[in-house]
Amino acid sequence: MSVECREPGTLKSVECREPGTLKSVECREPGTLKSVECREPGTLKSAECREPGTLKSVECREPGTLKSVECREPGTLKSVECREPGTLKSVECREPGTLKSVECREPGTLKSAECREPGTLKSVECREPGTLKSVECREPGTLKSVECREPGTLKSVECREPGTLKSVECREPGTLKSVECREPGTLKSVECREPGTLKSVECREPGTLKSVECREPGTLKSVECREPGTLKSVECREPGTLKSVECRELGTLKSVECREPGTLKSVECREPGTLKSVECREPGTLKSVECREPGTLKSV
């Protein structure tokens, strides 16, 4: 169930107890793992670490499954897990701290994930019918986690400063069309739980969220901006509904639009001169508006 390298360039042990499954692979400085192969009844094709602390490639072919791979030195991949049969095709890390590509082909899930500049994710795509469990990169400006649990749905994406997320797309059976955060802001999290629904989007640095779009039949759950940056626009067109929008710092909300048959649940801004809440409970009707800080509107 384990592979360990403890002395420079030496392999401690390799064990495979269930047919074609590798439990874990670890490379600790200064030793590097050159290659590991299990072919009958076969899972792990090869694992190579050529530079200190970097994983060159890992391949799992049917019917085996790869449990986890970890490399903990600079420019390495923290962990990759694929638990269903025939999942992870390849993982490559070529420059320090950047993930080059990840591919899972039938019956796997993630088509490609690429990080080309240090700490930035270029693209992530999930196509039916497989699912991606998790991908993590923990150095500055890297991708924290990506999870896809149902066919064509994105569970969560997190980018912590200073890297920025360019775009995320899930098309079939389709949820989030596109989300963009450009420097210096970062995207905290994006979640899609049911087909065509967006759970949450958060931006916590001074940068602002450029755009969020939900196209039929998706619904927007929440959008939050906590630093002085402002939210430019949020639009949900039929048949989606906007659940909530919150701005807690001095930033202001530019515009929010919901058109029938969607309904607006609430909008809140809690700092001076901001809007406290807006609620629409029946299609096209405004329930209440409150502003509680100096120079603001109390109620409508």
- Taking only the tens place, the pLDDT of each residue in 104-115 is 433 333 434 443
Q: Is residue 133 part of a domain?
A: no
Is-above-0.85 flag for pTM?
no
27: confidence class by pLDDT, cuts 50, 70, 90? very low
Structural domain includes residue 49: yes
Q: Sign of dihedral through CA atoms 102, 55, 183, 149?
A: positive
In a domain, 70, yes or no: yes
pLDDT of residue 38 exceeding 50, the answer is no
Q: Measure the CA–CA gap between 220 and 212, rounded to whole angstroms.
A: 9
Give residue 182's pLDDT.
39
Q: Provide the 3-class DSSP secondary structure of residue 249.
A: coil
Residue among 244, 251, 167, 246 nearest 206 (CA): 251
Q: Does 292 or 257 have the greater pLDDT score?
A: 257
Specify whether the CB–CB gap between 222 and 246 falls below 8 A. yes
Would residue 48 count as lying in a domain?
A: yes
C-beta atoms surrounding 212 within 10 Å: 23
- Tell me which of 154 and 231 has the higher pLDDT: 231
Q: Average pLDDT over the chain, rounded to whole?
A: 43
Per-residue pLDDT at 257 = 55
Q: Is residue 11 part of a domain?
A: yes
Q: Are 225 and 209 in contact (CB under 8 A)?
A: yes
Both structure tokens of 287: 């329930």
Q: Can you give the pLDDT at residue 172?
A: 38
Average pLDDT of span 167-189? 40
Distance between CA atoms of residues 161 and 203, nearest Å: 11
Q: Structural domain of residue 8, as residue ranges?
A: 1-76
Q: Calculate mean pLDDT across residues 163-187.
A: 40
Q: What is the pLDDT of residue 132?
A: 38
**How confident is the model at residue 241, as a pLDDT?**
53
The whole-number pLDDT of residue 222 equals: 55
Stretch 60-81: mean pLDDT, rounded? 40
In the prediction, which pLDDT does 285 show? Answer: 44
Confidence of residue 224 (pLDDT cuts 50, 70, 90): low
pLDDT band at 220 (very low <50, low <70, confident <90, very high): low
Q: Is residue 160 part of a domain?
A: no
How far apart CA 65 and CA 272 sit, in angstroms, is 55
Q: What pLDDT is stored for residue 225 in this prediction?
A: 53
Q: Which residue has the tokens 């991949």?
A: 77
> Mind listing the pLDDT tens digit for each residue in 235-262?
554 444 555 555 544 445 555 555 444 4
- The CA distances from residue 125 to 94, 112, 171, 176, 178, in Å, are 21, 6, 9, 11, 11
Residue 239: asked if its preceding bond is cis (omega within 30°), the reply is yes
Contacts of 283 (CB under 8 A, 6+ apart): 260, 261, 262, 263
Q: What is the DSSP letter of 214?
A: E
Question: Tokens standing for 40?
Answer: 């009958």
Across residues 55-73, what is the average pLDDT?
41
Q: Is residue 114 part of a domain?
A: no
Total domains in the chain come to 1
Is 141 a member of any domain? no
Sheet holding 101-103, edge to edge: 90-92, 101-103, 110-114, 123-126
